[in-house]
Amino acid sequence: MTSQAENKLAKFTAKFIEIYNRVIPTKKVDGFDIHLNDIDNLYPDRLEAIEENSVTALSCSNKLGNFIFGKGFEKNFDTLINTRKGKTITLNRCLLDVSNSLKTHKGVYIHINYDIEGKPNYFDVLEYKKCRTVKEDSLGNEGVIVYKDWSKTERFNFINARKDNKLRWFYPYNPRNVAAQRIKDNPKLELEAQIKGYRGQVLYFSLDGNNKIYAKGWLNAQGMNDADSEYRMSLYHNNNVRLGFIDKTILVTNGLNQDDEANLKKDFKEWLGTENAGGVYFMNTPYVMENIDSILKIETVTSSYDPKKFKEVNADLQENIRKCYLQIPKIIVNDNDGGIFGTSGEAIKEAKKFYNEQTEFIRYEVEDLFSKIFGVDFKIIPIIQEEAANDVGAELRLKSQAELKGSVGGVSALIELQKSVSEGFTERESAIEIIKEIYGISADLAEKMIGEPKITEDVNVQS
C-alpha cells in the first residue's frame, strides 16, 4: 500500500471513531440545508473503508449479503428493468444491488423513474456514501436527496474534476407526485420530452428503525474500533515482514590474508541451504592463536518480531465483530474451521439454519420494499429452503410410519409379507428392505420380525 493510500485510509479510520453518539448537523451546501452524516460528513466512507480492510468484517458483510439475497426471487427471473447508461438488468440483479448496500450500511437509496402509465421502468441503486438528505421545509414536506462525492475536498480546483463532482438532486419517493414533478422540471416541453427529462425519485430504505435520517451500519462504534484494530495488527505483521529486522547470521574473521578471506567468502556461500546442512568444513590458518574465536566466529542476531503476537487479542476482536452482524456463527465466516468434511458438517448445517432465521426479518422487509415499488408480490428463496423442506418431509414420514406400525392394517400387512416369503413369492432380503422403508424399523428388528419362515414344498400327486 502506498503512503498516499495509507493517508487516505487514515482519514477514514483514525478520525472520529471514538464518537459513540454520531452527530447529524445541518449545513448549507449549494443552496440546500443538508443533513451531514456525522460531524465530518464522512461516516459512510469511513464505515466502508474500515469494513473493507478488516478480513473478519468483510467476510461477515459478504455472508450477510448472501443470506439476504438467498437464491433470488421465486418469480420474475426474466423480468427486465432499465438502469443507468441504457442498460437493462433482471429483478434479481436489482435484489443483489439492494443486498450489497444493506449488508454494510443497513440502508439503501434507490433511484426510480416511471413510464407514461406511471409504472416503474427504471431501478438503480445509488452509491450509499454519496447520498444525503435535505432538511424538510417549514411546512413539513420531505426534503430532496442530493448526490455527490463528499470525500473530495472543496479546494480541488481542476475544472473537469469540479464539473464531475457537481451536486445532483432527486425528488423523494412519492409516485403520486410524478406528473406534477415532470411539469416542474420541464414546464415548456411536451409530455414525451418531460418523461425523458424527468430527474426521477429516490426511495430511501433503512433497517435501522432508531435513526430516521441515516442508518448507522452494522458495525457500531466498538465494532468499528475492533475492525480497525484487526487491520492495524495485519499492517504491523506486514511491515515487519517487508521492512522489519529478520534473524541474521554474522561471520566475523580477523587476521586472514586476502586469499584466505576470498576463499572463505566463497566457501561460506556453499554452506547455505538445507542440502548443505550436514557438511563439514575444514579450515587451516598459518597463524598461531591462543583463541581460535579471534580468527573465525559466527554470531546470530535474533529478531524481536513475534508472528504470534496479538493472537489472543485478535480472536477477541473477531468475536466482537461477528456479534455486530447479527451474531453470525464463526463456522459460517470461517467454514474450514474444523474441516467441513469432518464432524463439523452437521454443525455448519445448524449454523446456517440459525443465521437463516436471524436474517429472515430482513428478507421480509426487502420483499415488502419491492412489492411497494412494483405493486406485485415478491418472495425471496432462502439459502436453506431445500434443507428445510427435507426436514418437514422427514417429520411427516416419521409420523406416518408411527401410525402404520400401530394400526391393525400395518400388523396384517406384516403377516401377509411373512406368508409371501414362506411361499417363495418374495425373497427374504427384499421383505426386510420393505419393512425398513415402509415401517421405519431398523434392519436388526426387521430380520427378527420376518424370522426364518418355513418354506412350503409343493407335493405332486400322480394319478
Tens-digit pLDDT string for the chain (463 aa): 455 555 555 554 544 444 446 778 899 988 899 999 999 999 999 999 999 999 999 999 999 999 999 999 988 766 789 998 788 999 999 999 999 999 999 999 999 999 998 899 999 999 999 999 999 887 778 899 999 999 886 544 444 445 556 899 999 999 999 999 999 999 988 988 998 899 999 999 999 876 679 998 999 888 999 999 888 887 766 666 666 656 677 777 776 777 777 777 777 777 666 565 555 555 656 666 566 666 667 766 666 666 676 677 788 899 999 999 999 999 998 755 544 444 457 788 889 999 999 999 999 999 999 999 999 999 999 998 654 445 555 555 565 556 555 566 667 777 777 788 777 777 888 777 777 777 777 777 777 777 776 655 554 444 3
320-375 pLDDT per residue, tens:
999 999 999 999 987 555 444 444 577 888 899 999 999 999 999 999 999 999 99
Q: What pLDDT, on a 0 to 100 scale, did the predictor assign at position 432?
A: 77
Q: What pLDDT, on a 0 to 100 scale, did the predictor assign at position 54?
A: 93
Q: What pLDDT, on a 0 to 100 scale, did the predictor assign at position 158?
A: 45
pTM over 0.75: no
Q: CA–CA distance from 133 to each of 79, 143, 164, 385 (Å)?
A: 31, 6, 20, 38
